[in-house]
Structure 1
Amino acid sequence: MSSATVRPTTRRRVRTPAQPDQPLRLTLLGGWGLHADGKSVAMSSNGQRLLAFLALRGRTQRDYAAAVLWPDSDDQSALANLRTTLWRVRQRVRGALISTQHELELAPLVSLDVDGLVAAGRYLLNQESADSPADCAEIGRDLARHAPLLPGWYDDWVITERERLQQLQVHALEVAAERLVQSRHLASALEIAQAATQVEPFRETAHCAVVKVLLQQANPAQAVRHYQRYERLLHRELGIAPSPNLRDLVSPVLARSRA
């Protein structure tokens, strides 16, 4: 498809977290699913991809959506595929889409599970939030329970969105863990920090958070074991070593044990 004729003009809509009484619910975390009034709605793969794309990208020009969803087709064929898919989606579930001559978007009556993840992540990252440590820990636990976006989907736009959500998720968990350390709620801090390493197993800042909490708890042996497991993971999977920042956290413990 000719890239000169396509402009990625998307405008994200401000969405609120899903409400249980909304008639249409689209789930993308852990797998694709659509429910209308509590009943599952079957959808073709093209219909699934279109709804997922609009849910994640917001209001989008038709030609851009066609170019992204059918990248191996020419302009006219991609737009024809888009028109056919729109017709089929409307036959399966009415009211899910808003379309004009040039633009498409997901209708406001469609609730989206991704919105809950985004809202929780942004809330924890808000420096002005003043929750109690118990509330901070509970929000962190809820955030950690969110599954990855559309596992098994390998479209470039899905991978980009999956990584964006994971970065938001793990960063918010790290912030929550740090706040819990500052308030001396170390058990909850360790739980949230460990959850961050499950979301992003290779992210060093998450493992730094775990090691720091263990050292704060006066558990140097566990801190060293966690560091060594992470070191082996990096060497086995990526052929690299942890940064000096992380090594410096445990090096005094290792020096004392050698002495």
Structure 2
Amino acid sequence: MTGGTVRPVKRLRVRTPAQPDQPFRLSLLGGWDLHADGEAVAMSSSGQRLLAFLALRGRTQRDRLAGVLWPESDEHSALANLRTTLWRVRQRVQGAVISTSHELQLAPLVTLDVDGLLAAGRYLAHQDSTESPADCAEIGRDLARHAPLLPGWYDDWVLTERERLQQLQVHALEVAAERLVQSRHLAAALEIAQAATEVEPFRETAHCAVVKVLLQQANPAQAVRHYQRYERLLDRELGIEPSPNLRDLVRPVLARSRA
């Protein structure tokens, strides 16, 4: 780094601890967990979903929120459920939710683990990022450690947000791997590319990144084995084949072996 430039990696740590003036910490990655001033807070299922939705979707109109959280209830009953849930949440964590007559949102006093993932993912995915290879690998490793969003929750809005976060996460890891390849840090590139395949096992671009790194490392046999494992996975789980783009990467190696 040159001339007193502030290194952004320190501001983008994936695990962002709560600050003294932010007593509420809500974790959604790997499971729902809430702490207030360092103490764990128990919450009903409806309270958990209320806070999780506001954390992921931001400020929301009351009627829309009620309809999403209680889809099988009529509007009057859903709004009544929302009022009761909000009252109970406030008994547990006073000040965590800001409300008006029409809208609800989380207070700025609530820190979210999801924000760390978003910040790191967007930073890595930014094409003009100029971090050093060591910083790129460090942010990538931190990003890869994140667990899925709210595992075991199958609400439609959760599935949508889980997919969105996974796509950002794996795309950022692919970008990091490519930058590490360009700087000839191939061992770190392979580690980050393999992490991308673990986040999203069916994503072909992630497997392409692994194969490309292995070929650049002069490990053609490992590249073919990785391709064949992915090929079997697609056939077993989805009944499809890898695309020509991925097959073309290993075709020269297979042709030489047959010759």
The aligned counterpart of 2:181 is 181
* Conserved? CA contact 1:17–1:115, under 8 Å: no
- Corresponding position of 2:18: 20
Query: Identity of counterpart residues, as a percentage?
Result: 86
Match of 2:112 in 1: 112
> What's the CA shift for 1:204?
0.2
Q: Shift of residue 126 of structure 1? A: 1.3
How far, CA to CA, are the matches of 2:16 and 2:43 in structure 1?
21
Partner of 2:88: 88
Amino acid at match of 1:103: E
SS of alignment partner, residue 25 of structure 2: strand
Deviation at 1:121, TM superposition (A): 0.2
1:154-173 to 2 correspondence within 5 Å? 154-173=154-173
**Residue in 2 that maps onto 1:205:** 205
Aligned mates of 1:18, 1:99 — CA distance in 2: 26
| TM-score computed with the length of structure 1 as normaliser | 0.93
Which residue of structure 2 lines up, in the alignment, with residue 76 of structure 1? 76
Q: Distance in 1 between matches of 2:211 and 2:15?
A: 33
| 1:66-105 Cα deviation digits (max 9, x unpaired) | 0111111111010000000000000111010000000000
1:26 match: secondary structure: strand
Q: Which residue of 2 aligns with 1:43?
A: 43
User: How many angstroms apart in 1 are the aligned matches of 2:120 and 2:208?
Assistant: 22
Give the match for residue 32 of structure 1.
32
Q: Distance in 2 between matches of 1:39 and 1:234?
A: 45
SS in 1 for 2:181: helix
2:15, 2:229 → 1: CA distance?
Answer: 37
1:109 and 1:103 mapped to 2: Cα distance?
18
Residue pairs, 1:128-143, within 5 angstroms: 128-143=128-143
What's the CA shift for 1:17? 8.0
1:97, 1:104 within 8 Å by CA — same for their partners in 2?
yes
Distance 2:93 2:102 in 1: 21
Find the counterpart in structure 1 of residue 63 from structure 2.
63
1:19 Cα deviation after fit: 4.1
* Deviation sequence 1:41-86 (CA, Å, 0-9, x none): 0000000000000000000000000011111111101000000000
Indicate the residue corresponding to 1:3 in structure 2. Answer: none
Mapped to 1, the partners of 2:135 and 2:188 lie a distance apart of 11
Give 3-state SS (helix, strand or coil) of 1:66's partner.
helix
C-alpha contact 2:18 2:24 (8 A) present in aligned 1: no
- Partner SS state of residue 222, structure 2: helix
The separation in 1 between residues aligned to 2:111 and 2:138, in whole angstroms, is 23
Distance in 2 (CA, whole Å) between partners of 1:105 and 1:115 is: 16
What does residue 6 of structure 2 align with?
A: none
Contact 1:170 1:200 in 2 (8 A): yes
- Distance between the aligned counterparts of 1:131 and 1:18, measured in 2? 20
Q: Which runs of 5+ in 2 are unaligned?
A: 1-13
Q: TM-score, normalised by structure 2?
A: 0.93
Q: Secondary structure at the match of 2:127?
A: coil
Which 5+ residue runs of structure 1 have no aligned equivalent? 1-15
RMSD: 1.1
Q: What displacement does 1:20 show?
A: 2.6
Q: What's the CA shift for 1:194?
A: 0.1
